[in-house]
Amino acid sequence: MDCYTANWNPLGDSAFYRKYELYSMDWDLKEELRDCLVAAAPYGGPIALLRNPWRKEKAASVRPVLDIYSASGMPLASLLWKSGPVVSLGWSAEEELLCVQEDGAVLVYGLHGDFRRHFSMGNEVLQNRVLDARIFHTEFGSGVAILTGAHRFTLSANVGDLKLRRMPEVPGLQSAPSCWTVLCQDRVAHILLAVGPDLYLLDHAACSAVTPPGLAPGVSSFLQMAVSFTYRHLALFTDTGYIWMGTASLKEKLCEFNCNIRAPPKQMVCWCVYAAHSKERAVVVAWERRLMVVGDAPESIQFVLDEDSYLVPELDGVRIFSRSTHEFLHEVPAASEEIFKIASMAPGALLLEAQKEYEKESQKADEYLREIQELGQLTQAVQQCIEAAGHEHQPDMQKSLLRAASFGKCFLDRFPPDSFVHMCQDLRVLNAVRDYHIGIPLTYSQYKQLTIQVLLDRLVLRRLYPLAIQICEYLRLPEVQGVSRILAHWACYKVQQKDVSDEDVARAINQKLGDTPGVSYSDIAARAYGCGRTELAIKVWVCWSMSHAQGSRPLRAGTLIWVRARLGVFTVLLHLKNELNRGDFFMTLRNQPMALSLYRQFCKHQELETLKDLYNQDDNHQELGSFHIRASYAAEERIEGRVAALQTAADAFYKAKNEFAAKATEDQMRLLRLQRRLEDELGGQFLDLSLHDTVTTLILGGHNKRAEQLARDFRIPDKRLWWLKLTALADLEDWEELEKFSKSKKSPIGYLPFVEICMKQHNKYEAKKYASRVGPEQKVKALLLVGDVAQAADVAIEHRNEAELSLVLSHCTGATDGATADKIQRARAQAQKK
């Protein structure tokens, strides 16, 4: 315990700074860092080194090597640089490596050295070459700022959405500025540059000279400037060895320091802002062999650098790596300070002590505890311990602090457990990713700022799928956000492995993913298709479909039943339709009749237009006709549209040599037009009625002339017209008209229907009128219908028809017909005698 604060260095009265080792570097660098272009991403990100840069005029024949390492120095990628000379390297917020070439081209590489894309910073840059470049981060993404050989600046605030902006000229600028940096204020990127004793601020409209308030006199040149992580503070280093610190708006000075070293520092980092609770602002300045932390205090902290080192600004500190080590320098957080400060009597410190004594089974534990409780500070003590645990790098120390917190919690009635539980979880995740093999040395504050989602993304980016999944499961993240997303990423990566056979990849994917909800197989298949592995895309689908077809039972290899296989193909096709052009897609479909029929059905519900195209492609005029017919009543509202659809249908039917259908369709068109006219002229509802109903409606409405005209126009068969009129008039009970109609000419349907229909309306009187006109072979039936059994019997006897006789007989009921029955019996007997 005594030595725990040994590496704490006080700065002024109230702040301590400590530096501890994160990793001893695994890499085996042949070159010195100073011979390389170096870029390290914030948030414990990867380190890129481009060895053998061009500034050292070596033989051009040796191609430089671009290496990418994790923060612990594990090699991630190594590639020969085959492009032009590089001026600057930098990491984007998505951990993509941006390499700015001398000709203004920016090449973008992935974490694993995979080339992603490239873009150019414009013609002006191309002509004047790049003198210097900076990659900077804003809340929108990552930007690139370039200083050209003509001493002009060009910048793009977001490389994802490239918009080049050429900054205004700095009047009278003849040589390169001694130093410059990008400032982001009010969401706009500015450039601050120093030329001799003057500072200029460039925004996209103008260039204005600025003067930092309270700047010590005698400055003839600014050697270095540093802006804080959040662009709120700025530090300037002058040739007099004087450091000015203030707000980035250059409106307020915070403090100054004179270090009396005139040599230009190699790097300067300003992180003043983060420690909101601390009043201290500090700047780290590095020279070849010296590291200095300066702040609002007369003394500075000095470290000796044994090796060539490189500083990486972080949110809450600075990472310093060299050939052999990787260290972190930060201000000791308040909670830790309270607890560990020598002779601290803070509640947290007492609690930690109490817990230690408790473990030693010493009664002092009770004394300490009592002391805290008497002051009523136990809650605070627990909180302090929890908080401090978060800021500790060593798991041992985290543990003992958490143990203390947990111990203290026992004596509290109502202490919400969340903070403790979350801290334990967070630390577990942090320790896991800080591990040497993973190499993401995040601090607690950085982790909170970064969020777990981004951290998972970064793990996925590093292809650390198992760890990512474990974390998701450990934190019980919802599957869709967590495990499924990672599995989907994994599968997308898997399909890009060109050296593995399609079959194996598909099976592996299926085994891993199974029925995980939220995984989009279409994305995976699309990725495979994007890599030119169409077969694999199909296999992925087939595997998926098969496992689905089998319900919950696990996939059994080698049971490709053709039905399922074809179904699988169908699904792929469905997906590929977005990828392939229409023609190709339909051609592919043609060779899969099973899929084709399914697809047709699918289209009927989802994409009618596609269905039409499909029929068109096949010259399937019959179906095309049917399609338009359906459209004429299902899709079209306006009458003109419907007629047009029918016309198209009719044309299609002619092409299909289905004259019958074509004629019928044309009739329908005529009918529609006519119905429209009828509606206009007569009012009422005619549209959508069938021809038969139209005529009926006309008769019912008393428009007999029209009805007949219509029947003639559409050549309704005579018989049908008679039936129709008969029914309609009977419905109207217009007996007079019916009689007239019956006499208009000889009925083609006979007169029995007249009798029937009158009886249906219970009009016996009318029925009898027609019964007399019924032809001989149906006479009996007619007479029976009107209930004239006696006469029916007479007719039947006259006809000597056995069937008719028995029919009449069956109608003889009760006493009234007794006589008739006898008559028939007699006639029968007579007939038999003969």
Partner 1 sequence: MAFPHRPDAPELPDFSMLKRLARDQLIYLLEQLPGKKDLFIEADLMSPLDRIANVSILKQHEVDKLYKVENKPALSSSEQLCFLVRPRIKNMRYIASLVNADKLAGRTRKYKVIFSPQKFYACEMVLEEEGIYGDVSCDEWAFSLLPLDVDLLSMELPEFFRDYFLEGDQRWINTVAQALHLLSTLYGPFPNCYGIGRCAKMAYELWRNLEEEEDGETKGRRPEIGHIFLLDRDVDFVTALCSQVVYEGLVDDTFRIKCGKCHGPLLGTSHMAGLVFNEIRNEHFSNVFGFLSQKARNLQAQYDRRRGMDIKQMKNFVSQELKGLKQEHRLLSLHIGACESIMKKKTKQDFQELIKTEHALLEGFNIRESTSYIEEHIDRQVSPIESLRLMCLLSITENGDARCSLDTHYGPEHLLTFSNLRRAGLLTEQAPGDTLTAVESKVSKLVTDKAAGKITDAFSSLAKRSNFRAISKKLNLIPRVDGEYDLKVPRDMAYVFSGAYVPLSCRIIEQVLERRSWQGLDEVVRLLNCSDFAFTDMTKEDKASSESLRLILVVFLGGCTFSEISALRFLGREKGKREFIFLTTAVTNSARLMEAMSEVKA
Least Å distance between CB 509 and partner 1?
Answer: 17
Q: What SS3 state is found at 711?
A: helix
Helices (H) and strands (E) in the chain, counts: 31, 29
**Cα–Cα nearest to 121, from 183, 169, 166, 168:** 166
As given in the structure block, the two tokens for residue 57 are: 């005029």
What per-residue string of b and e applies to 126-156 under the rule 16 or more CB within 10 Å gives b? bebbbbbbbbbbbeeebbbbbbbeebbbbbb
**At its nearest, how many Å lie between partner 1 and the CB of residue 761?**
16
Phi, psi of 303 (to 5 degrees): -120, 150
First-to-last C-alpha distance (Å) of the chain: 141
Minimum CB separation of residue 654 from partner 1 in Å reads: 14
- If the CB atoms of residues 220 and 810 are measured against partner 1, the closer one turns out to be 810
C-beta closer to partner 1: residue 233 or 621: 621
CB-nearer residue toward partner 1: 228 or 665: 665
Count of other CB atoms within 10 angstroms of residue 185: 13
Distance of CA 478 to the CA centre of its chain: 16
Strands 267-270 and 253-258: unpaired
Beta bridge partners of 100: 88, 106
Q: How far is the CB of 794 from partner 1 (least distance, A)?
A: 21
501/606 with CB nearer partner 1: 606
Rounded CA Rg of the chain: 47
247: alpha, beta or left, given left = phi > 0 and alpha = psi -120 to 50?
beta
Tokens of 76: 């991630």
- Distances, alpha carbon 517 to alpha carbons 1, 313, 483, 568, 570, in Å: 51, 40, 10, 19, 21
Footprint of partner 1 on this chain (CB under 8 A)?
480, 484, 517-518, 520, 522, 545, 548-549, 551-552, 556, 559, 561-564, 566-567, 570-571, 574-575, 592-594, 596-598, 600-602, 605-606, 622, 626, 629-630, 632-634, 646, 660-661, 664-665, 667-668, 688, 690-692, 714, 716-717, 719-720, 723-724, 727, 749, 781
Measured from the CB atom, the residue of 236 and 759 that comes closer to partner 1 is 759
User: Measured in whole angstroms, how far is the alpha carbon of residue 183 from the centre of its chain?
Assistant: 33
SS3 255: strand
CA distance 752 to 711: 23
How far is it, in rounded angstroms, from Cα 319 to Cα 280? 19
> Please, which residue, 154 or 668, has the CB nearer to partner 1?
668
- CB nearer to partner 1: give 501 or 511: 511
Q: What is the 3-state secondary structure (H, E, C) of 416-455?
A: CCHHHHHHHHHHHHHHHHHCCCCCCCCCHHHHHHHCHHHH
Please, what is the minimum distance in Å from the beta carbon of residue 16 to partner 1?
47
Residue closer to partner 1 by CB (options 702, 717) is 717
Query: Which residues, other chains included, contact 121 with Cβ-Cβ below 8 Å and sequence gap of 6+?
Result: 100, 104, 105, 106, 130, 144, 146, 154, 156, 164
3-state secondary structure of 306: coil
If the CB atoms of residues 146 and 569 are measured against partner 1, the closer one turns out to be: 569
Residue 283 corresponds to which tokens in the numbers above? 């700047």
Who's near 112: CB < 8 A, 6+ residues apart?
68, 76, 77, 463
What is the smallest separation between the CB atom of 535 and partner 1, expressed in angstroms? 19
Q: For partner 1, which is the closer residue by CB, 132 or 666?
A: 666
- Please report how close the Cβ of residue 150 comes to partner 1 at its closest, in angstroms: 50
Residues in the chain: 834
Report the alpha-carbon distance of residue 193 to residue 576 in Å, rounded: 53
Residue 425 CB, nearest approach to partner 1 (Å): 24
Neighbours of 450 (CB within 10 A): 18
If the CB atoms of residues 461 and 549 are measured against partner 1, the closer one turns out to be 549
Q: Which is nearer to partner 1, 459 or 710 (CB)?
A: 710
Amino acid type, 527:
R
Closest to partner 1 by CB, 642 or 769: 642
Residue 407 burial (C-beta neighbours within 10 Å; 0-12, 13-18, 19+): buried
Instruction: Round to whole Å and give the CA distance between 128 and 335.
Output: 53
**Alpha helix (H) residue ranges in 297-377:** 334-340, 347-359, 364-375
Residues 6 or more apart whose Cβ sits within 8 Å of residue 82: 63
Q: Tokens 């481009």 — which residue? A: 50
Q: Taking a C-beta distance cutoff of 8 angstroms, is the pair 316, 274 a contact?
A: yes
